[in-house]
Each structure stands twice: as structure tokens, then as C-alpha cells.
Structure 1
Amino acid sequence: MIVFDVKDWESAYENGRNIPGGTEYPGPWVAPAENFRNSANARLDLAYGEGARHRYDLFLPEGTPRGLFVFVHGGYWIALDKSYWSHLAAGAVARGWAVAIPSYDLCPDVSITDITGQVGAAIAHAANEIAGPIVISGHSAGGHLVSAMMCHDSPLPGAVQARLKHVVSISGLHDLRPLMNTARNDLLKLDMESAEANSPALKRPLPGVQLTAWVGGGERQEFLRQAALLPNIWHGLGARTACVVEPDRHHFSVIDGLADPDSPLMRAALDRAEATEPGK
């Protein structure tokens, strides 16, 4: 018999203090991100809206891009911006994809619903700049946000939905109701109605889009459960889904593979989209 009984929800969703060296993050990402940004073929701070944080960076490969890859950052919807993650564009750029990394407004200044709409607007703007198939990925809260893009009530315009091939939710949060039990909810302002309304696990997936939930084997049990939850439910609704537990990765190292074009994470994210390109 397996008994599930979470007595400390704060610890269940706390990563930094439960990972050796975890409290140092996001510091270790600053220099690699800046170095990549300074050396890459990039169009920085493209505006997708009127707000100061309504900006994204677009990293371009040599030649015509094979398509658009998007990375949406985490930070529990309350912290960080696009500048910490630029180096994670390296893997997709090396494979010939353009990569967009957006910022968005943060709670409590706006709601998670507002943020979801902003991410949709950023992806739509980048899609107008770059032709071809679209693959989107996001980490932690960003995993939630990209999963919301393939829900039946996606904020993406229909033409962009039609180009969306694959969503990769990395350590994503797919059911927001447990977060009402954490201190972060003082900033998130979730109640049962808004938590349910913003939970991809309680919605229907768009047809024809693949979902991969990717999570580190060394992550908190709640992140492992959240990763397994959405593919399980959406598989039952007819979607093509997968859940991958990558060994020896924790919540912060699990995204490292995005910087490597030959990593298991990048192969999982892009191989199938590349195989269906016209002429292949």
C-alpha cells in the first residue's frame, strides 16, 4: 500500500533549500547568459506589448531558421526575467532554430491569468517574425505557462496554434491548487476558482500537438507528481504525450540540456518536429 500524505506543503514546493548549493541560484546562470547574449546573433528587447517587461530576445541561427523555439522562464510567477536564460538558446540555435525568450509581468502586480495572456502575445509576436513549425518549452512556472498554450482555451491565435508542434514542460506545475497551501500564495493570490481556471490538468489539450513533461530524477516528489500528472490525463483525452524522468538532475540542473544540441532533452524536443519538416 502506498500512502500519500503531504504534511509540509511549503517544503514540498521549496527547491532552493532542498538542493545542495540551491540557494546560490539564479547566480550561476548570470555569466553564461550574458556571455552568450554578447556573442550570439541576437535581436534584443523586441516589444510584444506596451509594458516595460513586455519584451523578448530573439536568437538567430546562420541562414534561414528551421522554425521557432521558445523558452519561457520560471520563478514561481513572482521573480526573474529573460536575462538569466540566454545561454539556454544555444542548443536550438545550433540545430538551426530561432529562439525567443520572453519576459512577462510578475505577481502580485498582475494575475497568473494575465501572465498567461502575455506569454501568448510574446509567442504570437515571435511567430510573426519567424516562419515554420513552433516548439515551446518552459521551466517550472514556465512549464505551466507553455502547457497553457496547448489548452483548449489557449491565448494563441488560431494561425499560431496550427503551427504549434510540441510543448515541452520542464519541471512544470500543471495543477495549481496545491500552491494555495504555500506562503507564496500571499503573492500569487490564488483561490480555488482561479487555481482551477489556471490549471492545465483540468483542461482539454489542443488536437495534434505533442506534450512532453520532463523532470529531474532528484527533484521534490511534488514536481515528479506534477510532471506525471498532465501526460497521464491528456493521454486519456487523445493527445500524444510522454513523461521523462532524467536521472541525476535536480530542479535547477534539469534545464542544462537546452544548451546542448545533442542532449537527450534537445533530441526529445526537436527530433520529431525536424523529421516532419517539408521535404523530409
Structure 2
Amino acid sequence: MNAPVDYEVEYNNRARVPESPALIASWAQDAALYRERHAPRSIAYGRGARNIIDFFPGNGQGPVVVFIHGGYWQALDISFFSHLAGGLNAHGLSVAIPGYDLCPGVTVDDIIRQMRMVTRALSRLDRPLVISGHSAGGHLAACLLATDWPGFDASLPADLVVAAYAISGLFDLAPLVETSINNALHLDKATARAASPLFWNAPARKSLDAVVGEQESAEYFRQSRCIVDRWGEAGLATRFGTIPGANHFTAIAPLADPDSAMVARLMELASR
């Protein structure tokens, strides 16, 4: 008989990676340096202070790649992640990094709705969107891929989002309900399931990549494999992969490297 899963241990990434405070501090430093060299255009999509998109333009051609940050829907902001535009910018692709309000001030459903507002705002660029995201941002990327865009706003095309690339994402929120993470999220079983794209109708077209750091917990592997399998069985083009040697915090580092396999894959998705 299998022992019960200790979800608190499985999802406590900061405890699993003791050097995480230093890694997060390095994000802030690298992001500030990148903004000094590549000042973003600020796009407001709502009235709140966090309802801002940092837009790092490329050469003006092709799709825009969106990166949605993580933090379990309750931490961090876009100022930590500017440098992650670097890998794609070096190849001429534009990158948008949206902010959002945090729990417990808002709900996870509110954040999903804000990301849909972001997508609607970016639709005015008249370019397809590839949505990437890390951790909670991977969850939001999957949500946007599965959104019925004409149903959300009749003016939007069904193929507004052409692909999603989720890095160490969360697609089934039920395991979080009994953990300390939920102190800010205030999810119950019903609201957790409703906000879990794993249980939504799979997108009819497009594609989903779900990749996981090699050193992540078993639950993170399960989460990505489950959505790849379930949406793949429904007919969606899906791909599972691992990021060699990476933990939860270093998994996003390849985005800043123009020569990384992650950047090459995002360029491939953007070229379809």
C-alpha cells in the first residue's frame, strides 16, 4: 500500500531549495540591469497598480511571447523577471510580461480573469500570442490556451493564443487545499477544481508544452504529465519535457539565454 503524499513537502519549493532567497535576489538584480539597457513600454490593462504589462519590443514581426510569473498567485511582481525577455529579444521576438493582483487580496479566479484582460489588451497589437509561464504562471498559461476567446469577448478571434509553454506549472489545484499555501488562496475543493485547467475542456487546436525542472518534486512531474496526457488524449498536440539539472527556481534561467533549447522551442512555436 502506497504511503499518503505529503503535499506540504511536495509543494514547498522554498524549503526544497534552501538557496532560493539568493536566487530570487539575483532575479531582481538581473531584471533591473536588463531594464536599464532595454526600457520596456508600459501597457495598462486595468485600473490597479499591478495591472501593467511590461512590453519588450523585438523587430515588430511575428507573434508576441507572453511570460507570466509565478509565486503561488500570492508573491512577486514583474520587476523580478525583465531579464527573461533577453533570449527571445535577441532573436527579434517581442516579449510581454504582465503583472496581476495577488491573493488574498483577490482570488485565483480573479487572477485568471485579469490574465484574460491582458490577452485582450495584447490582441490590439494584431499579432498572435504564445503564452509561457512559470509555476502559477504555467497554470495561467494553460488557462489562457483553453479559453474560449469569442465567448469571453465577441471581438476576439478564436485563435488569438496559438500555443502555451508551461514551466513547472500547476494544473490541478486540489492538492494545495490542505497546505499552508492555501492560507492566502482560500480555496476549497469545489473552487480548486473549478480553477484547475486539467479538468477543463481541452483546446480543440493549438499546442501545449509542459516542462519540469529535473530536480522538482514528484508532484510537479505528475502535474505536467497529467495535463499532457489528458489534453493529448483529447487530440491536442502536447509535449512533456525536463530541464536538465534545474530546480524550481533555476528552471526559468534558459529564457535569458538566446542559445538555449527553451528559447529555440519558443521560437519554433512562434513560427507556426
TM-score range, shorter chain: over 0.9
| C-alpha displacement of 1:152 | 4.8
1:67/1:98 contact within 8 Å kept: yes
Q: How much does 1:153 deviate?
A: 4.9
CA contact (8 A) 1:149 1:156 kept: no
Residue 20 of structure 1: how far off its partner (Å): 4.3
Task: State the one-letter code of the partner of 2:139.
Answer: H
Question: Which residue of the partner structure matches residue 190 of structure 1?
Answer: 187
Where structure 2 has 5 or more consecutive residues not aligned to the other structure, the ranges are none
Partner SS state of residue 221, structure 2: helix
Alignment partner of 1:107 is 2:103: yes
Partner residue, 1:29: 27
Q: Which moved more, 1:253-262 or 1:228-237?
A: 253-262
The TM-score with structure 1 as length reference comes to 0.91
- Which of 64, 67, 70 is equivalent to 1:71? 67
Aligned to 1:39: 37
Q: Which runs of 5+ in 1 are unaligned?
A: none
- Equivalent position of 1:144 in the other structure: 139
Indicate which of 153, 168, 172 corresponds to 1:171: 168
Instruction: Give the C-alpha shift of residue 212 in structure 1.
Output: 0.2
Instruction: Give 1:199's aligned amino acid.
Output: S
**Aligned 8 A contact 1:121 1:156 in 2:** no
RMSD of the TM alignment (CA)?
Answer: 1.7
Secondary structure of 2:165's aligned partner: strand
For normalisation by structure 2, the TM-score amounts to 0.94
Counting only pairs closer than 5 Å after superposition, residues 187-266 of structure 1 correspond to structure 2 as 187-266=184-263
Which stretches of structure 1, 4 residues or longer, exceed 6 Å deviation after superposition? none
1:25 deviates by: 3.9
| Contact in 1 for aligned 2:145/2:163 (Cα 8 Å) | no
Q: Any conservation in 1 of the 2:148–2:158 contact (CA below 8 Å)?
A: no
Contact 2:63–2:270 (8 Å) recurs in 1: no
Does 2:130 align with 1:135?
A: yes
Matched-pair contact (CA < 8 Å) for 1:152–1:205: no
The alignment status of 1:87 with 2:83, answered yes or no, reads yes
User: What is the Cα deviation at residue 245 of structure 1?
Assistant: 1.1
Aligned partner of 1:57 in structure 2 is: 54
Give the corresponding residue for 1:16. Answer: 14
**C-alpha distance in 1, partners of 2:51/2:2?**
41
Measured after TM superposition, the shift of residue 191 of structure 1 is 0.6
Does structure 2 retain, via aligned residues, the 8 Å contact 1:166–1:269?
A: no
Asked whether the 8 Å contact 1:72–1:139 carries over to 2, the reply is: yes
Distance 1:160 1:139 in 2: 25
> What is the deviation of 1:141?
0.4
Cα shift at 1:52? 1.5
Residue 205 of structure 1: SS of its match in structure 2?
A: coil
Is the Cα contact below 8 Å between 1:108 and 1:188 reproduced in 2?
yes
Q: How big is each residue's C-alpha offset from its partner over 1:27-63, in whole Å with a ceiling of 9 and x where there is no partner? A: 110111001111115213x2100112111100012x3
User: Does structure 1 residue 97 correspond to structure 2 residue 108?
Assistant: no
Deviations 1:178-232 (A, max 9, x none): 0002012121010111011000110112222100001111111111111111111
Partners of 1:95 and 1:72 in 2: how far apart?
20
1:99-158, CA deviations, whole angstroms, 9 ceiling, x for partnerless residues?
110110111111100000101111221221x33221110000000011001225568646
Paired residues, number: 270
> Which residues in structure 2 correspond to 1:108-127 (within 5 Å)?
108-127=104-123
Moved more, 23-32 or 108-117: 23-32
- Cα distance in 1 between the residues matched to 2:5 and 2:209: 29
Indicate the percent of aligned positions where both proteins have the same amino acid: 37
The letter for the 2-side match of 1:147 is: A
